[in-house]
Amino acid sequence: KQEVTQIPAALSVPEGENLVLNCSFTDSAIYNLQWFRQDPGKGLTSLLLIQSSQREQTSGRLNASLDKSSGRSTLYIAASQPGDSATYLCGNTNAGKSTFGDGTTLTVKP
Amino acid sequence: DGGITQSPKYLFRKEGQNVTLSCEQNLNHDAMYWYRQDPGQGLRLIYYSQIVNDFQKGDIAEGYSVSREKKESFPLTVTSAQKNPTAFYLCASSSGQIITEAFFGQGTRLTVV
């Protein structure tokens, strides 16, 4: 059974810092790796989707990479801003059905 | 605007009651999903449906029931058999193909009173 782990569980950084969030999974036979943002009391907003044949995806200040051989994905956030404060979840998505990590709660201090 | 709508946003249930959470999508997606989220935890799959009139149990289906009579609707009923129903419930949809992106609603917070 696929298991997804996210480390660290919480992260606090000063504004402007570049940071990396980690996601590891136990079964390398994945189809997609999707990163989401969740604000308190809200649903999940899709940030990036990396197909299994891809190694990375970029959107603005966000860059996500996927290394199936090591079972890892990273989300890189450049020049962090207070508005980036949220919980970030990764999900191993197969036909839309996902196994999620517990998330990393990011706080960016002004 | 295309998207997924969950209602209500907040729901209160008395002990022994069944309650139904609504999920509607206008994305023309074949597949729909229900997840449960508890504080500080990730999402756990309750039920999913990849086509109308068909659905499968997820990891924590006990105490829940669903129906999929229409492509755009996938209601979740939390029955009295669910002993710890207080949680945040999220509905999602996708095209149902292997390489596909999942989209989520804004969630329903259910509280037992």
Cβ distance B48 to A100 less than 8 Å, yes or no, reads no
pLDDT digits (tens, 9 = 90+) for B48-107: 999 999 999 999 999 999 999 999 999 999 999 888 999 999 999 988 766 678 899 999
Which residue matches tokens 């029955």? B79
**Residue type at position A97:** K
Interface of B with A in 59-78 (CB under 8 A): none
Cβ distance A43 to B97 less than 8 Å, yes or no, reads no
Cβ distance B42 to A4 less than 8 Å, yes or no, reads yes
Q: Indicate whether A32 pLDDT > 60.
A: yes
Alpha-carbon distance values, B38 to A53, A102, B11, B43, B111 (Å): 33, 10, 16, 8, 12
Q: A94 in helix, strand or coil?
A: strand
Q: How many angstroms separate the CA of residue B28 from the nearest CA in chain A?
A: 14
- Residue B5, chain A, CB below 8 Å: the answer is no
Give the other-Cβ count within 10 Å of B84's Cβ: 9
Q: Indicate whether A28 pLDDT > 90.
A: no
Cβ distance A102 to B40 less than 8 Å, yes or no, reads yes
Give the other-Cβ count within 10 Å of B11's Cβ: 18
Locate A88 and state its tokens: 């970030």
**Residue type at position A94:** N
Vertex B37 angle, CA B61 and B6, to 5°:
85
Check if the beta carbon of residue B48 is closer than 8 Å to that of residue B61: no
Locate A58 and state its tokens: 């970029």
Supply φ then ψ for residue A83, to 5 degrees. Answer: -70, -10
**Chain B residues with CB-CB distance to A102 below 8 A:** 40-42
Average pLDDT in the A27-53 region?
89
Which residue matches tokens 């782990």? A5
pLDDT digits (tens, 9 = 90+) for A78-108: 999 999 999 999 998 776 567 899 999 999 9
The predicted structure's pLDDT at residue B9:
96
Check if the beta carbon of residue B22 is closer than 8 Å to that of residue B6: yes
Q: How many angstroms separate the CA of residue B12 from the nearest CA in chain A?
A: 16
pLDDT digits (tens, 9 = 90+) for B10-50: 999 888 899 999 999 999 999 999 999 998 778 999 999 99
**Chain A residues with CB-CB distance to B8 below 8 A:** none
Average pLDDT in the A62-69 region?
94
Average pLDDT in the A12-40 region?
91
CA distance A14 to B62: 44
Residues constituting chain A: 110
